[in-house]
Amino acid sequence: MRNRRQFLIESGAIAAAFAASRLAFAQSAAAPAAPKQDGAKAGRAARPLKLLVLGGTGLIGPYFVKDAVARGHQVTTFNRGKSDPKAFDGLPVEWLYGDRATGDLKALEGREWDAVIDLWPSQPKYVRQALEIVADHCDHYLFVSTISVYEPMSAAKCDETWPVSKLPENADPERTQLTNATYGALKALCEQKAEEMMPGQVTVVRPGLIVGPEDDSDRFTYWPVRVAEGGEVLAPGTPEDPVQVIDVRDLAAFLLHCVEQSKVGVMNATGPVSGGIGIGKMLEACKEAAGSDAKFVYVDDAFLEEQRISAWGDLPTWISPRSEGGGLGQVSIERAVAAGLTFRPLVDTARDTLKWWRDVQKGRALRGGLARDKEKTALAAWHAKAESAAGVKKGS
């Protein structure tokens, strides 16, 4: 039996009709942005869509799927069914099983969708293999990438035109192993492969640090949990040092908005403002969410280095704007905001994250952030240093 790709090649009339449908898609993508929504949209979509979600059981997927079902869309997911086999219990979701790591995509053959949302790949061969099957069977492909595709950002408000990372010359993209060193370049190649195979029909969303309930990496969770404990909290740099995060629920809502409105192109998705907000505002939001008496003690970059306290690892969300690559917390999101990206108040994200950690995670030990004994030692050293400096000044 001929597949759709062969049939289109052989039939000029159908090929012309298919080209016309793609033109209509491109014209709809160029339409003015719909009014902005605060978080997930309410009500039913104007036009129900048939959506295929590749992946779907990780952090973003369940929120996206639940939003899509609530909006009246017909949702199919494709994955191994092992990570969270009960992810969609109670929802009218069709679940197709396969394994992209082994090339088992048979369940996708012979099906039609309005849009495909790809949440999983970090290597271009997986994008290629999926699109070889679905490219001629959908009008829109949305790929969730990352701002880690960029070369180190040395300036504020870098936008989507900033250079992306590349593999070493002569490296084979389909054979290169995924490592921390190759992650950004491989993600960029995933984006390029998608556009190559579905030109003009691809949305690439590059999120920053994705946070909120269900994020068990603790890269943001550390802060509301630590601040809730109260007392002196070691904080990095200055209160004005910029940071950026995006609530997973706002990201999922934006992905669905892009699909419903046929938004195409590349967009950074982090926030809550272009160029970042001061970490002081983020910590104050955590303090308000927790009802805490926390007192923030800001220490400078040199002291953190002396104490061997690392940015991003020990002190999540923060990279010093005074360091190489310090623009990572100051990314431009103007393109995504113009397309309809909106944010809930950061205090709500902090409050919901803390509640999830207490109610669902049962207050387990944090996987990230600064260890309490190390923080206590550093705070003591900082105060001793300040007292010594004050004594010298008084004596002089």
Per domain, the residue ranges of the chain are 4-210+247-269, 222-246+274-331+344-395
Nearest-10 Cα torsion for 259, 264, 266, 267: -50
Q: Which residues of the chain have pLDDT under 70?
A: 1-42, 391-396
CB proximity list for 161: less than 8 A, separation 6 or greater = none
| Alpha helices per DSSP H over 267-362 | 279-290, 301-306, 334-339, 346-359
CATH of 4-210+247-269, one of 3.30.1360.70, 3.40.50.720, 3.40.50.2020, 1.10.10.10: 3.40.50.720
Strand partners, 344: none
Q: How long, in residues, is the chain? A: 396
What pLDDT is attached to residue 16? 34
At 389 the pLDDT is 81
Helical axes 183-197 vs 124-134, angle rounded to 10°: 20
Q: Evaluate if pTM is beyond 0.85.
A: yes
**One-letter amino acid for residue 294 of the chain:** A
Which residues lie below 8 Å from residue 342, measured CB to CB, with a gap of 6+? 36, 37, 38, 39, 250, 253, 254
Structure tokens at 162: 């900033």
- Among 95, 103, 106, 96, CA closest to 128: 103
Buried b (16+ CB within 10 A) or exposed e, 212-227: bbbbbebbbbbbbbbb
Q: For residue 37, what are the contacts with CB-CB under 8 A and spacing of at least 6?
A: 253, 257, 340, 342
